[in-house]
Every structure is written in structure tokens, then in C-alpha cells.
């Protein structure tokens, strides 16, 4: 036997020229590392793209309510003296004799309660420094209503506007189906706003209109978004409201889905609120995105596992949708993963995972452009869209701050 053959056996190499076993193991390890870096974000980006594409097709006609239930609009308000009077003045012409307005002045340090009473609303005042949050305010309103419960409860934030037909649609649909109903929760378009605010408002449109529509098509349910929500009284009466969860609406919708009452979408009912300043927008995004990420990490995987056990593809998609990060974070994560994968390719790894990730990213970018062309032009000017790289940098401190923990207090947007 030759010296060369002895050497190849000693090193684990095939004497006919195959690489050593250790080298093969290293290649396999590098491939796995590359897949672990790129595959999760590739799949999440693909799911995002599917939701957007289907969302742009609209929702097929669904059930519609026809009866007009006795309804109470519950408006939680924390230090809203500056806007509560104007909000009620807009709202009162939109309600009829079967609808009442109940304002919960929650831990206020101003005269929100007095202005709301002068505006014609029923008012309850809650003061509890240890139990702060919108969920506690809603639970307090429920206790007040329990003595003479309505047929339906609509939740409306103090800075929101809604028209009569939208109110009727969500209230009647919730009453007749026994399920919560979410309207389309949007910000008023404003092309004169700061470019960073325009990009943020467009992302809000993608989340609350386009992706919600896609989710309704794929899963037959949507996520609750905090305002413009209607609940039949029996469901509202038993809901786990008293919580300091800063995205209590999202958790509430998941709880109701688990209980067999997933939220319905009313794509022809709208609630509107004004866009914040740049600083106020960033604070609100920190609050919402921090709470969303925490809820997603805690609940998306169990939801998908439960769907697999039940062989329920709609429930699985609901969990998958919940696991998709906010749009800016998804873009940043893809860029970071792509950079790491590129470094591995330069070291000799296979380029295939990176190519697939780039292709899916291109599809996602195309879907966003299609959404802008179809519904986004009033929200985002071409000049503001060109500043997307600056927007990514603008959001970086937010995500770095979230590494220290998500916000836990009820915040109002700067107006």
C-alpha cells in the first residue's frame, strides 16, 4: 500500500480524491448556519408578500348584519382635554337614539371629564394609580354597564372619528354573529406631513388595511387594532379586559379566537384618526411595536402548534401572520441576515440561500410598490418614499431601545 494511501486513510480522506470528513462536516455546518440565518426571514417575508398580494384583491362578500342593536360607544380617555370636546362634537351627529356614548376619564390630571359631560356624553371617572392602562378602563366601563347592559359595545379611541354607516355595520354584524368585529382603522392621509411620518403612516395602512384584508381571506379572521371594534355584550361581559398589556386589543382578539369567536373584518367600515408629529409617531411606534413583538414571541408559536394538532390551516396562518415583524423591522432583519449570508458566501458557502432570500425580498418590494400604486398614493409622496433609507435609520434607536424591554404604560400620541 502506498504512502499516499496510508496518509489518506489516516486523515479520513477518500483515497480516490474526495474531501476529508472533517472538511465535509465543516461544509455542512456552514450550510446549516446559512440556512438558520436566512430561512426564517425568507419564510416570514414570503408570508408577508402573500398577505399583501391577496389583500390587494379585497375581501369576498361576507355576512352582513341587518338589525340595529342597542349600542354603547365606550371611549377610554386619559388626559384628553385638548381633543375630547371636538371628538364628541363630531361623533354625536353620527349616533341615533339607540346608541349611547360613555366616556371613561381614566387617571386624568386635567378636566377631560368635565368637557366630556358638557359635550353630552355619559362620564365615569376612574382613579387608580396602581392599575393603569386601557384594559382597566374598559373593565371599569363594563362594570358600569352591567346593571343595564346593551346589546353591543363599540370601542372608540378619543382621537378617532367614525361615520354613522360604519357604526351600524360593525354593531349589527357583531350582534348577529356573536363575534367581535374590527373596522378598518386608518390615519388620515396628509402629504404635507414630515416624510418620516408619511412613511410610518403608509406602513400603518399596509398593516391595518392591506394585510388585514389578506388575513381575512386566508384565515377568516383578523387582529383587533384597538379602536373601531364592536363586541356583542355576552362576549364583552366575559372578556379578560383588566390587564396592563399595552397591546390589549391584540391579546384580546387572540383570546377570543381561542374561545371560538375569532374577530371578523368589516372592510367597508372605517375609523379615522389624525397623524402624530414625528416625535409622537416614534413614541407610539415604540409602544405598539414593543408590545406586538412581546405578544408575538409569546403566542405565535403556540398558536401554530395548536393549529397543527387540530389540522386547521386557517388557525395556522393566523399564528404565522402574528409572527411577521413590523414592516421596518422585517426590512432591517432581512438586510442584516443578507449581509451575514453574503459574508458566508464570500468564505465559500453556497449562494443559493442568499439568492432565494433576495428573490423573495424582491417580490415583497414589488408587492409594496403595488400597494402604494393602488391605495398608498394619498399617504406617501414619491419624494417621501425616496427617504426610506433615512426612515430605517430613524427607527433604529427604537429597536435598540426595545432591547432593554418594551414600554409598559398607556401613551397618547403627540398631537
Q: What is the pLDDT of residues 263-299, one digit of tens each?
A: 999 999 999 998 877 777 777 788 888 888 889 999 9
CA distance 102 to 40: 45
When mean pLDDT is compared across 4-18, 55-69, 176-190, 237-251, the lowest value belongs to 4-18
**Which among 399, 239, 231 has a CA at the least distance from the CA of 326?**
399
Confidence of residue 408 (pLDDT cuts 50, 70, 90): low
**Which H/E stretch holds residue 185?**
strand 181-187
What per-residue confidence (pLDDT) applies to 36? 85
**Residue 16 lies inside a defined structural domain of this protein:** no
Confidence of residue 365 (pLDDT cuts 50, 70, 90): very high
Same domain, 175 and 121: yes
In degrees to the nearest 10, what's the CA dihedral of 124, 127, 131, 134? Answer: 40
For strand 99-106 and strand 71-77, is the pairing parallel, antiparallel, or unpaired?
parallel
Same domain, 199 and 221: yes
**Residue 125 lies inside a defined structural domain of this protein:** yes
When mean pLDDT is compared across 6-20, 88-102, 160-174, 244-258, the lowest value belongs to 6-20
DSSP string, 353-399: HHHHHHHHHHHHHHHHHHHIIIIITTT--HHHHTTHHHHHHHHHHHH
**Residue 8 lies inside a defined structural domain of this protein:** no
- Top pLDDT among 136 and 403 is at 136
- pLDDT over 80 (residue 352): yes
Same domain, 341 and 263: no
Same domain, 226 and 318: no
Confidence of residue 3 (pLDDT cuts 50, 70, 90): very low
CATH code assigned at 136: 3.90.550.10
What per-residue confidence (pLDDT) applies to 246? 67
CB 69 within 8 A of CB 151: yes
Span 85-90, mean pLDDT? 94
What per-residue confidence (pLDDT) applies to 350? 86
Domain end call among 228, 255, 275: 275
Domain end call among 275, 294, 316: 275
What per-residue confidence (pLDDT) applies to 51? 98
When mean pLDDT is compared across 43-52, 122-131, 323-332, the lowest value belongs to 122-131
CB neighbours (10 Å) of residue 208?
22
For residue 287, with 0-12 CB atoms within 10 Å meaning exposed, 13-18 middle and 19 or more buried, which class applies? buried
Q: Structurally, how many domains does the chain consist of?
A: 2
Same domain, 261 and 341: no
**Residue 215 lies inside a defined structural domain of this protein:** yes
**Residue 265 lies inside a defined structural domain of this protein:** yes
What per-residue confidence (pLDDT) applies to 283? 79
Same domain, 352 and 379: yes
Confidence of residue 2 (pLDDT cuts 50, 70, 90): very low
Span 176-200, mean pLDDT? 94
pLDDT in tens, 213-263: 999 999 999 999 999 999 999 999 999 888 877 677 898 999 899 888 999
CB neighbours (10 Å) of residue 312?
14
**Residue 407 lies inside a defined structural domain of this protein:** no
Same domain, 341 and 212: no
Span 60-69, mean pLDDT? 73
CA distance 173 to 339: 48
- Top pLDDT among 249 and 171 is at 171
Q: List the beta bridge partners of residue 162.
A: 271
CA distance 149 to 16: 84
Same domain, 48 and 79: no
For strand 160-162 and strand 71-77, is the pairing parallel, antiparallel, or unpaired?
unpaired
- pLDDT over 50 (residue 1): no
Confidence of residue 164 (pLDDT cuts 50, 70, 90): very high
**Residue 283 lies inside a defined structural domain of this protein:** no
Domain limits for position 210: 71-275
C-alpha cell at 58: 379585497
Same domain, 164 and 193: yes
What is the residue-averaged pLDDT of the chain?
88
What per-residue confidence (pLDDT) applies to 231? 98
Confidence of residue 4 (pLDDT cuts 50, 70, 90): very low
Percent of the chain, pLDDT > 90?
66
CA distance 412 to 279: 12
- pLDDT over 50 (residue 50): yes
- Top pLDDT among 133 and 45 is at 45
- pLDDT over 70 (residue 413): no
- pLDDT over 60 (residue 109): yes
Same domain, 93 and 191: yes
Same domain, 217 and 313: no
Same domain, 81 and 28: no
Amino acid at each position: 500500500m502506498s504512502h499516499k494511501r496510508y496518509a489518506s486513510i489516516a486523515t479520513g480522506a477518500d483515497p480516490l480524491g474526495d474531501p476529508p470528513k472533517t472538511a465535509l462536516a465543516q461544509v455542512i455546518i456552514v450550510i446549516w448556519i446559512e440556512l438558520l440565518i436566512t430561512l426564517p426571514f425568507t419564510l416570514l417575508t414570503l408570508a408577508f408578500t402573500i398577505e399583501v398580494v391577496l389583500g390587494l384583491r379585497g375581501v369576498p362578500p361576507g355576512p352582513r348584519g341587518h338589525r340595529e342593536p342597542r349600542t354603547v360607544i365606550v371611549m377610554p380617555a386619559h388626559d384628553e382635554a385638548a381633543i375630547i370636546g371636538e371628538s364628541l362634537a363630531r361623533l354625536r351627529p353620527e349616533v341615533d337614539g339607540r346608541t349611547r356614548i360613555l366616556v371613561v376619564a381614566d387617571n386624568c390630571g386635567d378636566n377631560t371629564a368635565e368637557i366630556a359631560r358638557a359635550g353630552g356624553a355619559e362620564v365615569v371617572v376612574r382613579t387608580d394609580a396602581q392599575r393603569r392602562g386601557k384594559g382597566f378602563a374598559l373593565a371599569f366601563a363594563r362594570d358600569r354597564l352591567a346593571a343595564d347592559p346593551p346589546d353591543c359595545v363599540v370601542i372608540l379611541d378619543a382621537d378617532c372619528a367614525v361615520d354613522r354607516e360604519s357604526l351600524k355595520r360593525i354593531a349589527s354584524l357583531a350582534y348577529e354573529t356573536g363575534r367581535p368585529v374590527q373596522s378598518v382603522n386608518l390615519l388620515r392621509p396628509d402629504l404635507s406631513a414630515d416624510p418620516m411620518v408619511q412613511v410610518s403612516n403608509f406602513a400603518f395602512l399596509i398593516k391595518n388595511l392591506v394585510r388585514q384584508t389578506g388575513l381575512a381571506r386566508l384565515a377568516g379572521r383578523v387582529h383587533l387594532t384597538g379602536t373601531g371594534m364592536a363586541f356583542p355584550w355576552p362576549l364583552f361581559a366575559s372578556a379578560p379586559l383588566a390587564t396592563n398589556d399595552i397591546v390589549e386589543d391584540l391579546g384580546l382578539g387572540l383570546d377570543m379566537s381561542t374561545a371560538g369567536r375569532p374577530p371578523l373584518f368589516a372592510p367597508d367600515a372605517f375609523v379615522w384618526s389624525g397623524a402624530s408629529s414625528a416625535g409622537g409617531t416614534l413614541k407610539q411606534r415604540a409602544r405598539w411595536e414593543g408590545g406586538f413583538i412581546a405578544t408575538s414571541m409569546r403566542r405565535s408559536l403556540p398558536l401554530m402548534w395548536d393549529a397543527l394538532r387540530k389540522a386547521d390551516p386557517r388557525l395556522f396562518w393566523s399564528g404565522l401572520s402574528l409572527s411577521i415583524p413590523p414592516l421596518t423591522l422585517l426590512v432591517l432583519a432581512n438586510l442584516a441576515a443578507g449581509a451575514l449570508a453574503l459574508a458566508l458566501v464570500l468564505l465559500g458557502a453556497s449562494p443559493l440561500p442568499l439568492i432565494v432570500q433576495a428573490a423573495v425580498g424582491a417580490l415583497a418590494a414589488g408587492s409594496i410598490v403595488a400597494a402604494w400604486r393602488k391605495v398608498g398614493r394619498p399617504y406617501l409622496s414619491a419624494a417621501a418614499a425616496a427617504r426610506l433609507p433615512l426612515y430605517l435609520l430613524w427607527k433604529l434607536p427604537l429597536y435598540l431601545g426595545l432591547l432593554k424591554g418594551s414600554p409598559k404604560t398607556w401613551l397618547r400620541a403627540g398631537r
